[in-house]
Amino acid sequence: MDFSRRRFLTSAAAAAAGAGWPVAGAGGLAAAASNMAVARYKSPQAAPDAVAEEARRLTRAAIGALGGMGRFVSRGHTVWVKPNIGWDRRPEQAACSNPDVVATIVELCFQAGAGKVTVGDNPCVSPEKSFARSGIQAAAQKAGARCYYLDERKFRRMAMRGARVLKEWEIYTEAVEADRLINLFIPKQHSLSKATLGMKNLMGLAGGPRSRFHQDIAGTVADLAAFLRPQLVVMDAVRVLAANGPTGGNLADVWRKDTVAAGVDQVAMDACGAALLGLAPAEIGIVSEAHARGLGTMDIQALAPAMLEV
């Protein structure tokens, strides 16, 4: 099956229309809330100096089609936003989440009444380098969020109820105790798991020897996803890393997809990310495992996502 962007968007739009879910074009927004929304830029690719505004528009459109951030965040809530800040890379290299998508999510949380928003990750390299070079720390702080390096003392060994592989693990306490967890991932090719998507992005809230995860990547990540269960998942596919992931570095490996998606089903969101990388969701062991466990569905069309062009 061709899982190209065009095929994915076309088939999903057809499913949405057939199921009675709203499909909007020409800049319009869906009139009713969905459980998954995919917003794409309708015009030719924006010039480099316009990508930031494009990313913000796409993010607002996708969240708006879900019913707005107020569906997830209420007045006084503490919110933890978990982007990918794992690598010492610039935004255009697509190894970390887009800073403008991160900032827009923060702004929407505050507009919905959040009392405190924290943006954090446990990177694979020096946090001083990755937080700064990715542009995420500056963008998040400008939007009003706290964005700081995780404190080793705040990882606590927690029982992973219902886990099949990881019975317990060190998890960052503040992320677990937040009223809302928003998982914000960027789709990337990965040498071990074929793709690193939303559920694998949650590894950034784990401490300890994370190499242990890679001994059974599908099982351990599914355990982590089942434990953390973010209330909202956002896919930043303004750019995706199609090869030499997860670190990247070569701009030739970056694809512009000009797309942001949001949803409540973390398995479906990973399936969406796989599709944009040209992969069938069933090819990704993490996605198949989580689907088999009932953590969500990898049948995107069954969700009839709202499709938007902005």
> Which pLDDT belongs to residue 214?
86
> Which pLDDT belongs to residue 124?
86
Provide the mean pLDDT of the chain.
Answer: 88
pLDDT category, 94, cuts 50, 70, 90?
Answer: very high
Alpha-carbon Rg for the chain, nearest whole angstrom, is: 18
> Which pLDDT belongs to residue 27?
39
Peptide bond into 246 cis (omega under 30): yes
Segment 82-102 mean pLDDT: 95
> Which pLDDT belongs to residue 25?
46
Q: Among residues 62, 70, 65, which one has the least CA distance to residue 234?
A: 62
pLDDT category, 79, cuts 50, 70, 90?
Answer: very high
Tell me: pLDDT of 272 over 90: yes
Classify domain 70-301 at the CATH topology level. Answer: Rossmann fold (3.40.50)
d(CA 200, CA 191): 13
pLDDT category, 270, cuts 50, 70, 90?
Answer: very high
Tell me: pLDDT of 191 over 90: no
Tell me: pLDDT of 251 over 60: yes
Whether residue 253 contacts residue 241, with contact meaning beta carbons closer than 8 Å, is answered with yes
Q: Among residues 80, 82, 150, which one has the least CA distance to residue 117?
A: 80
Tell me: pLDDT of 192 over 60: yes
Give pLDDT tens digits for 143-187.
999 999 999 999 999 999 889 999 999 999 999 999 999 999 999
> Which pLDDT belongs to residue 246?
84
> Which pLDDT belongs to residue 66?
96
> Which pLDDT belongs to residue 23?
44
d(CA 43, CA 213): 41
State the burial class of residue 44 (Cβ atoms within 10 Å of its Cβ: 0-12, 13-18, 19+).
exposed
Whether residue 276 contacts residue 120, with contact meaning beta carbons closer than 8 Å, is answered with no
Cα 265–chain centre separation: 11
> Which pLDDT belongs to residue 176?
97
Tell me: pLDDT of 252 over 90: yes
Segment 189-217 mean pLDDT: 91
Q: Which of 25-29, 107-111, 173-177, 180-184 has the weakest average pLDDT?
A: 25-29
Q: What percent of the chain has pLDDT over 90?
A: 75
Structure tokens at 181: 């967890």
d(CA 201, CA 87): 13
> Which pLDDT belongs to residue 48?
67
pTM exceeds 0.85 for this model: yes
d(CA 49, CA 72): 32
> Which pLDDT belongs to residue 193?
79
Tell me: pLDDT of 13 over 60: no
d(CA 166, CA 134): 31
Q: Which of 129-143, 243-257, 284-298 has the weakest average pLDDT?
A: 243-257
Instruction: Delimit the domains of the chain by residue range.
Output: 70-301
